[in-house]
Amino acid sequence: MITCKDFLSELNEYLDEDCRDEVRKELEEHLDECPNCWVICNTTQKTIEIYRGMDPIPIPVGVHDRLLDALRMKSQIAPPA
């Protein structure tokens, strides 16, 4: 039996249709029984559809550099040489 925590850990693979058939079946059974996970899944699917339909918006260079610096600090990745 799949728990909500299990469902959430598999959500990306489920939405990408990148999970095994038996796992997909268990996840769908959980969705049929759990309104909270159904809402999360449905909302995430709709959000992805909306963003896929949008044109990319370029990030200003200064913002891009600050974002990369912040991500490097968080993940402790060394900057490129």
pLDDT in tens, 32-46: 999 999 999 999 999
- Choose among 19, 11, 71: nearest CA to 47: 11
Question: Is CATH 1.10.10 what the domain over 4-75 is classified as, yes or no?
Answer: yes
* pLDDT given for residue 26 in this prediction: 96
* pLDDT given for residue 52 in this prediction: 85
Burial class (CB in 10 A: 0-12, 13-18, 19+), 7: buried
Classify the phi-psi angles of 55: left when phi > 0, otherwise alpha if psi is within -120 to 50, otherwise beta: beta
For the chain, which ranges sit under pLDDT 50? none
* pLDDT given for residue 77 in this prediction: 60
Tell me the HSE value of 44 on the side-chain side, using a 13 A CA sphere: 13
Q: How many CB atoms lie within 10 A of CB 30?
A: 19
Question: Is this prediction's pTM over 0.75?
Answer: no
